[in-house]
Structure 1
Amino acid sequence: MQQLPKLSANAIEILKTTKNLLAFSGGSDSTALFFILKELNIKFDVALVNYQTRKESSLEEEYAKQLAKQNNKECFTLTCKLENNNFEHNARSTRYTFFQEIIDKNAYDVLLTAHHLNDKFEWFLMQLSRGAGAVELSGMNEVEETQNFKTIRPLLHVEKKQIETFLHVNKIKYFLDASNNDKKYFRNQIRNEFSNAFCEKYANGIKKSFDYLQRDTKRLLPKNTQHIKNLYILENNEDDLINIRGIDKIVKKLGTLLSSASREEILRTKDCIVSSKIAVVFSQNKIYICPWIKITMDKKFKEACRVEKIPSKIRPYMYKENISIETIL
């Protein structure tokens, strides 16, 4: 194929040895990634969510099934109908819950998404407009570890215009989503009024800036993290900004995104359950983060935890996973 966008060597090296699932929509970005991966002989299957929001939705689903069948790939689909209230948030939650279920059931190692450089810069501007620090501004990474799989964005350094050129030159069919031009969505305002034009003109400088920003933000994150299964223990830093950045990164690994309200609650209470899923508890010197569960515990274990001042919210997970008290003292 002509005008093949170049994926990073790091992404290719990982994807050659893993079981991969592509988040597919039928739009330009995921369609381009489908054919790029195929050209590179990287094995993958596809997953699509049909929200039934447009007349093309069923055609996009059929296109995904057709491509999968022609290329001997599994195609997982979900058809659903969501309320218009807070649609973007609900759609993302539904989509990633669906992906997680597929990954768990079929033992995929990697979730592939088609985010590209323009998406990354768009996110940067959105965060900048809301008031954000360096960690938040650096945004999405090419490779991110989550609870039991990696999320890889192989096109993250590729410009949108390169993707469009690749599709045009190779006469590859894809669908246009008219809702991407609807300015009632803040993301679309940023994209259409600022990010696309700026990115097209200054792409090389943006790439370099993101590289610098990525390296700089690593210095702002906690270094000493103890990890036993899905129980994470951070040092309790005097600077709560460093603490919340470390917590945010770990909570994301466990499959949840922190809202501004959640961050404020964590720092205010120092002892809470996030989204009814994850326990975050501060002690004098440590911060404990783990899945929140309810389970009947042995009395001796509970008493031993009390004596050693193990926070009550992390005890059930420790008991279920047979994590000894001695390993976290």
Structure 2
Amino acid sequence: MQLNLSELTSKKNLLAFSAGVDSTALFFLLLKDEIKFDIAIVNYNLREESKEELEYAKSLAKKYDKQIFIKEVTLTGSNIEKNARDIRYNFFEEIITENDYDNLITAHQLNDKLEWFLMQLSKGAGLVELLGLQEYIDKENYKIIRPLLHTSKQKLEEFLKENSIKYFVDKSNFEDKYRRNYFRHEFSNRFLSEFENGVSKSFDFLQKDLKSLNINYTPIFKEKSLTIFKNLHDENLNIKVIDKHLKKEGFLLSKAQRDEILKQQQTVISNQVSVCISDEFIWICPYVIKTMNKKFKEFCRINKIPKLARAYIFNRKIDEKEIVKTIYS
């Protein structure tokens, strides 16, 4: 089972732990990939098994040399699910603030994402609400990361059984008085058992579409046929900006050309258009071959003007200093 854990490497991470299938599987997957982390667990004292789950969490922390943070609470009143969530996340944020953690890792998985989607769909929701469970969420002083969102609960259970890893099952997950459980048992689990691959791909496409809705297509610099955009630090967004701009110029990119741009970062398309994706900007202009003087080339080098854009700027006598002043202002 391969997870994308690059955001957790060399960071101080806190895992929200419960001893259930999801968080236990994630605990051992993080160990397997040598990701450093500590754990936090909340005991709501709603079930007898919660004491055993807490002891199991303590034993794992001791065995694998993890710091463990524990909160004991007694939940009462109505809307227990919301109250539990509020208590849990307030506790996590206290730990993160006091101990300078970079990331909070939660074990939400593909079934959770589909359950949420169906719950929102049943109430009437837009794309943002339907895709409420995001893989990365930037908070004020930390990031929430959910590395299991592409992995089904069934696969996590298989991983635990194959490796003879102990875990607990929360019996309240089988009570249909909770709205989420109704969607889980009546719809999402059964649907995923047959169409897991398609569901995962659909969520990927929807996520890309959601990001695309927020694209800023306005260039930060434009003179003659030189156009410069901000690098949006997302391949899907960057290629949409490039594609839309070139369409306006009457140049239609093929899929192979889009793939080439993303792979090479600085390339010439059909011997006509230079496209350069630098650390901060996207440069687009006609491809030109022109001899340039040393002073101009040195200025471009120092100010990180891409090589494939320099000849056009020099040939059309665009003020290179004005370019730099504008894009860095």
How far the C-alpha of 1:143 sits from its partner, in A, is 1.3
How far the C-alpha of 1:122 sits from its partner, in A, is 0.7
CA distance in 1, matches of 2:83, 2:215: 31
The amino acid of 1:192's aligned partner reads H
**Number of residues of Structure 1 aligned to a counterpart in Structure 2:** 217
The amino acid of 2:14's aligned partner reads L
Structure of larger gyration radius: 2
Residue of 193, 197, 200 corresponding to 1:200: 193
Partner of 1:78: 71
Residue of 1, 7, 11 corresponding to 2:3: 7
CA displacement, residues 20-56 of structure 1 (integer Å, 9 cap, x when unaligned): 0000001011000001100110000000000000001
TM-score by length of 1: 0.64
5+ residue gaps, structure 1, are 225-329
Report if the CA contact (8 A) 1:23-1:46 is conserved.
Answer: yes
The amino acid of 1:86's aligned partner reads N
Partner of 1:162: 155
The amino acid of 1:7's aligned partner reads L
The amino acid of 1:142's aligned partner reads E
CA displacement, residues 235-257 of structure 1 (integer Å, 9 cap, x when unaligned): xxxxxxxxxxxxxxxxxxxxxxx
Structural mapping, 1:57-206, within 5 Å: 57-206=50-199
Partner of 2:20: 27
Structural mapping, 1:151-300, within 5 Å: 151-221=144-214
Partner of 1:300: none
CA distance in 2, matches of 1:54, 1:6: 34
Q: Which secondary structure state, in structure 2, belongs to the residue aligned with residue 7 of structure 1?
A: coil
How far the C-alpha of 1:223 sits from its partner, in A, is 5.0
Q: Which has the higher contact order (CA 8 A, sep 6+)?
A: 1
CA displacement, residues 92-123 of structure 1 (integer Å, 9 cap, x when unaligned): 00000000000000000000001111110111
CA distance in 2, matches of 1:44, 1:106: 12
The amino acid of 2:151's aligned partner reads V
How far the C-alpha of 1:222 sits from its partner, in A, is 7.7
CA distance in 1, matches of 2:20, 2:77: 21
CA displacement, residues 161-188 of structure 1 (integer Å, 9 cap, x when unaligned): 1100000111100111000011110000
CA distance in 2, matches of 1:139, 1:197: 21
Partner of 1:39: 32
The CA RMSD measured in Å over matched residues stands at 1.2
Partner of 1:285: none
Per the alignment, do residues 212 and 85 of structure 1 end up closer, same or farther by CA in structure 2, a change over 3 Å counting?
A: same
The amino acid of 2:180's aligned partner reads R
Report if the CA contact (8 A) 1:31-1:174 is conserved.
Answer: yes
CA distance in 1, matches of 2:33, 2:115: 28
Q: Which secondary structure state, in structure 1, belongs to the residue aligned with residue 141 of structure 2?
A: coil
The amino acid of 2:78's aligned partner reads N
Report if the CA contact (8 A) 1:47-1:77 is conserved.
Answer: yes
Report if the CA contact (8 A) 1:135-1:220 is conserved.
Answer: no
Runs of 4+ off more than 4 Å: none
Q: Which secondary structure state, in structure 2, belongs to the residue aligned with residue 114 of structure 1?
A: coil
TM-score by length of 2: 0.64
CA distance in 2, matches of 1:158, 1:81: 32
CA displacement, residues 265-291 of structure 1 (integer Å, 9 cap, x when unaligned): xxxxxxxxxxxxxxxxxxxxxxxxxxx
Q: Which secondary structure state, in structure 2, belongs to the residue aligned with residue 83 of structure 1?
A: coil
CA distance in 1, matches of 2:6, 2:183: 34
CA distance in 1, matches of 2:47, 2:7: 36
- Identity, % of aligned positions: 55
CA distance in 2, matches of 1:124, 1:14: 25
